[in-house]
Structure 1
Amino acid sequence: MSKGPGLFSDFGRKAKDILTKDYISEQKFSISTQSDTGVVLASTVMKKGGLSSGDVAAQYKYKNAIVDVNIDTESNISTTLTVTDVPASTKTIVSCKLPEYNSGKIEFQYFHEHGSVTTAVGLNKSPALDLSATIGTPSVAFGSEATYLVSSGSFTKYNAGVRLTKPNFCASVILADKGDALRASYLHHLDHLNRGAAVGEITRKFSTNDSTLTVGCSYTVDPRTVVKAKLNNHGNLGALLQHELKPKSFLTICGSFDTKAMEKSPKFGLALSLKP
């Protein structure tokens, strides 16, 4: 596909990944394997508090098509079909969840070297129409998105933003929630090898006059070990250690606590993902 400005949903994603990705507060174990025919099977068990849940997922790739099926412990079945480059520089995604028969959705993405367009519509009697577009280059991009509810003839969401990407930093500003919220993020690589990065993100809710400032960092200790940390102005501190036991098999240990309420017990999370 064309290396253009990307999708609007990608704005601020690199910073968000450092602040949220792989942070967990539960115990999680997953194992996956792949057959000779290209079918990938994965099973996940998770325990949070006194509740346990799990799911079984399967993925099959054939040429430029991918089929994903997921079944959880509540007997929900989620299926997704993704087809790329038919026609060229496009991606089509069809998804549904059973027994929620009205949850079907079809999404079409088109990529160009100077822009992208995404259209998604629900497959039900009163569908919601999602539209998003970006224009620019891989370095500077402007974008917007909106959701139009056909049954009421009104917009339920519209956001707009700008993103600036350079070899050593990435910044974005997004006006969201119909103009009621502002989210700005900045990521700076600490060295030319991109082993370390520092992140700052601020969100402002105008209607409630609330602001949240979060700072974080990520550092690659060695090719197999990554550490992360984050802290916001409400006193919530989190840390993460992730080690690759062998190719594509990871052990993740997380911890978090409220620095303004030291009497509360800290939270810990543990995840083990194995791929034989």
Structure 2
Amino acid sequence: MGSGPAPFVDIGKRAKDLLTKDYNFDQKFTLSMLGSTGIGLTATGLKRDQIFFGDINTVYKSGSTTVDVKVDTYSNVSTKVTVNDLFPNSKVACSFKIPDHKSGKLEVHYLHHHAAVDSSIGLNPTPDLELSAAIGSKDLALGGEIGFDTASASFTKYNAGIGFNKPDFSAALFLTDKGQAVKASYIHSVNPFTSIAAEMTHRFSTYENSFTIGSSHAVDPLTVVKTRFSNNGKAALLCQHEWRPKSLITVSTEYDSKSINAAPKMGLTLALKP
């Protein structure tokens, strides 16, 4: 459905990715392998301060069905089974975690030429309900999302947004935080190598404004440099290099000008795909 609108969650995604994607201020290692039988294996390790986290993720694909199983260092097991085209233009997924017996969730995604609908329901006696929808086209999309907690009979969220996309720029406007804030984002491709993005948020209750601006520049076909500045005094820099096909090394750093006694944050990410 390339001519249809993106799901609501993807409205404004291009600007968000430039400002946040791949920034990491810890030590992270990822090894991904894909077998010829449709089985994929990904091992991830993350060191944050003096604590180490890790998980092993196995993905098996057979026809229209995908089974995703993840086991972490705390012996938690997460499983997700996804079936494509169970109904025309749809995707159905069921997920759960062990030992959390209340974590089950059923998701239904539907794509149409002029609409994209995502819904989910918790598989427990007092489930959380979520629904998001977007209508329009690949160039212009209007949508919203709601979340409802049946245990307290209250809405957990309700947001709305509109996005406009062209090959060289994208703009989005959202009403968020249950109508308490408005957020606008914009990204523009200056040339084939350089893009700039900005995001601004205004909160009606406190009259507080916040903004973040950033840039991305391809130094060469294998190296990308990104920068980010926020009104809270934080500045970040990222350099990502593809040192072998599909294998990336990323160095990130962030400096907080309001914490002059704190050392800048440094992060290193190594992603290997043999």
TM-score by length of 2: 0.96
Q: Report the Cα distance in structure 1 between the residues aligned to 2:139 and 2:119, rounded to whole angstroms.
A: 24
Q: Report the Cα distance in structure 2 between the residues aligned to 1:181 and 1:123, rounded to whole angstroms.
A: 31
Q: Report the Cα distance in structure 2 between the residues aligned to 1:274 and 1:2, rounded to whole angstroms.
A: 30
Amino acid at match of 1:104: G
Aligned counterpart, 2:250? 252
Q: Report the Cα distance in structure 1 between the residues aligned to 2:51 and 2:154, rounded to whole angstroms.
A: 40
Contact 1:146 1:155 in 2 (8 A): yes
Aligned counterpart, 2:205? 207
Contact 2:2 2:138 in 1 (8 A): no
SS of the residue aligned with 1:19?
Answer: helix
SS of the residue aligned with 1:201?
Answer: strand
Render the CA deviation track for 1:109-153: whole Å, top value 9, x for unaligned. Answer: 111111111221000000111111111111111101101222333
Aligned counterpart, 2:220? 222
Amino acid at match of 1:222: D
Deviation at residue 3 of structure 1 after TM alignment = 3.1
Moved more, 59-68 or 178-187: 59-68
Q: Report the Cα distance in structure 2 between the residues aligned to 1:48 and 1:229, rounded to whole angstroms.
A: 23
Aligned counterpart, 1:239? 237
Q: Report the Cα distance in structure 1 between the residues aligned to 2:219 and 2:61, rounded to whole angstroms.
A: 34
Contact 1:2 1:112 in 2 (8 A): no
Aligned counterpart, 1:274? 272
Deviation at residue 46 of structure 1 after TM alignment = 1.1
Contact 1:2 1:111 in 2 (8 A): no
Q: Report the Cα distance in structure 2 between the residues aligned to 1:104 and 1:174, rounded to whole angstroms.
A: 30
Aligned counterpart, 2:181? 181
- RMSD over aligned CA atoms reads 1.3
Moved more, 216-225 or 231-240: 216-225
Q: Report the Cα distance in structure 2 between the residues aligned to 1:231 and 1:215, rounded to whole angstroms.
A: 5
Tell me the percent identity: 44
Q: Which runs of 4+ in 1 moved over 6 A?
A: none
Deviation at residue 82 of structure 1 after TM alignment = 1.7
Contact 1:2 1:89 in 2 (8 A): no
Q: Which runs of 5+ in 1 are unaligned?
A: none
Deviation at residue 205 of structure 1 after TM alignment = 2.4
Q: Report the Cα distance in structure 2 between the residues aligned to 1:112 and 1:36, rounded to whole angstroms.
A: 32
Deviation at residue 166 of structure 1 after TM alignment = 1.3
Amino acid at match of 1:151: A
Amino acid at match of 2:262: K
Q: How many residue pairs were aligned?
A: 274
TM-score by length of 1: 0.95
Amino acid at match of 1:252: T
Q: Report the Cα distance in structure 1 between the residues aligned to 2:226 and 2:164, rounded to whole angstroms.
A: 24
Moved more, 259-268 or 160-169: 259-268
Amino acid at match of 2:30: S
SS of the residue aligned with 1:178?
Answer: coil
Amino acid at match of 1:213: F
Aligned counterpart, 2:46? 46
Render the CA deviation track for 1:231-261: whole Å, top value 9, x for unaligned. Answer: 0111100010111121211100001101233
Deviation at residue 85 of structure 1 after TM alignment = 2.1
Amino acid at match of 1:57: N
